[in-house]
């Protein structure tokens, strides 16, 4: 990994900009290396142009416990083409002069342990990443990684599930950096037609517990649902499986166009009024 440090946009600054524009943040998710790393880089730039406020980038892993079938298949395709964490970071670094949208890396505990927490956070920061999500990292073990991430200028974003006890939710809200990731449904990622009835109340409770922004993910797949997220009082909407499915079903060479069109459609639904 090149030791050169690249300028990163702050996640909190991006949320501040979005609030001033009276919008919620659109946070699309894509899997690095699907269909290949070169195309992934082009997709990131196309999402930026289409209105993405923050982009979540999955690092493929062979046992993604939080992922539904769409993201599992995307990870398998990426791994089959030789995508590794270090190659993902190299791809991000190569975009440093063109990608200004804050980038959040989504990975799992085992790849981080294999890479080394200190080395991964340093390399991720040097590549230009702004944040990190580790869905299978227990709250009790997050403090160590959060300290390492913060030292390197990365926000460790923690997840809240609809079934989490209030005491645990408060701890997560007070320890998460950048934003709190509120999971809209129980179970794994994937498109859903409805969100859990508890989500709106959880947004309100999280807002009472902490001033950090709240973004809703898992199951958000349409402009209609983004409007619902907006009405719940959340600060951001994360769209993953629906976008990844469209990229996967695209004609070869049309992945960026498909991603851009869908992102643009979703972006139009983010205005608060």
Check if the beta carbon of residue 43 is closer than 8 Å to that of residue 35.
Answer: no
Determine if the peptide bond prior to 46 is cis (ω within 30°).
no
| pLDDT tens digits for range 10-24 | 999 999 999 999 999
Which residue is catalytic, options 53, 56, 196, 255? 56
What is the per-residue pLDDT for 195? 64
CA 180 → CA 110, 169, 213, 243, distances in Å?
A: 22, 10, 6, 22
- CATH node for 11-267: 3.20.20.70
| pLDDT tens digits for range 68-100 | 889 999 999 999 999 999 999 999 999 988 999
Which two three-digit tokens encode residue 270?
């983010």
CA 48 → CA 52, 102, 173, 247, 260, distances in Å?
A: 5, 10, 28, 16, 9
Which residue is catalytic, options 53, 67, 228, 235? 67
The Cα–Cα gap between 49 and 28 comes to 12
Which two three-digit tokens encode residue 68?
């539904």
Complete edge-to-edge strand list for the sheet that includes strand 55-58: 155-157, 131-133, 103-106, 55-58, 25-31, 236-239, 214-217, 180-183, 159-160
Is residue 67 part of the annotated active site? The answer reads yes
Check if the beta carbon of residue 226 is closer than 8 Å to that of residue 266.
Answer: yes
What is the per-residue pLDDT for 68? 82
Name every residue whose Cβ is closer than 8 Å to that of residue 2 and which is 6 or more positions away in sequence: 93, 126
Check if the beta carbon of residue 210 is closer than 8 Å to that of residue 260.
Answer: no
Residue 145: DSSP 8-state: H
Unique residue bearing structure tokens 């002069």: 97
What is the per-residue pLDDT for 273? 63
Residues of the chain with pLDDT below 70 are 1-8, 185-197, 272-273
What is the per-residue pLDDT for 141? 86
Residue 212: DSSP 8-state: S
Check if the beta carbon of residue 191 is closer than 8 Å to that of residue 167.
Answer: no
SS3 content of the chain, % helix, strand, coil (to 5): 45, 15, 40
Alpha carbon 64 to its chain centroid, in Å, reads 15
What is the per-residue pLDDT for 187? 46
What is the per-residue pLDDT for 8? 59
């Amino acid at each position: 990994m090149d030791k050169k440090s690249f300028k990163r946009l702050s996640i909190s600054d991006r949320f501040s900009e979005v609030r001033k524009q009276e919008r919620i943040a659109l946070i699309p998710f894509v899997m690095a290396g699907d269909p290949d790393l070169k195309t992934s880089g082009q997709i990131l730039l196309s999402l930026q142009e289409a209105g993405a406020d923050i982009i979540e980038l999955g690092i493929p892993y062979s046992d993604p416990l939080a992922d539904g079938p769409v993201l599992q298949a995307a990870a398998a395709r990426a791994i089959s083409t030789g995508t590794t964490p270090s190659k993902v970071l190299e791809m991000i670094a190569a975009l440093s002069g063109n990608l200004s949208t804050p980038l959040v890396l989504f990975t799992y505990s085992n790849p981080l342990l294999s890479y080394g927490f200190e080395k991964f956070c340093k390399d991720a920061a040097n590549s230009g990443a702004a944040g990190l999500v580790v869905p299978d990292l227990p709250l009790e073990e997050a403090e160590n990684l959060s300290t390492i991430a913060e030292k390197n200028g990365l926000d460790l974003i923690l997840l809240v599930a609809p079934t989490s006890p209030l005491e645990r939710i408060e701890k997560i809200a007070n320890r998460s950096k950048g934003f709190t990731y509120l999971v809209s449904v129980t179970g794994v990622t994937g498109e859903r037609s409805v969100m859990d009835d508890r989500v709106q109340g959880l947004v309100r409770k999280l807002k009472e517990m902490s001033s950090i922004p709240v973004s809703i993910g898992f199951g958000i797949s349409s402009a209609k649902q983004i409007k619902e997220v907006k009405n719940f009082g959340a600060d951001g909407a994360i769209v993953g499986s629906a976008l990844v499915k469209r990229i996967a079903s695209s004609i070869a060479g049309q992945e960026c166009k498909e991603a851009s069109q869908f992102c643009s459609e979703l972006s139009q639904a983010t205005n608060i009024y």
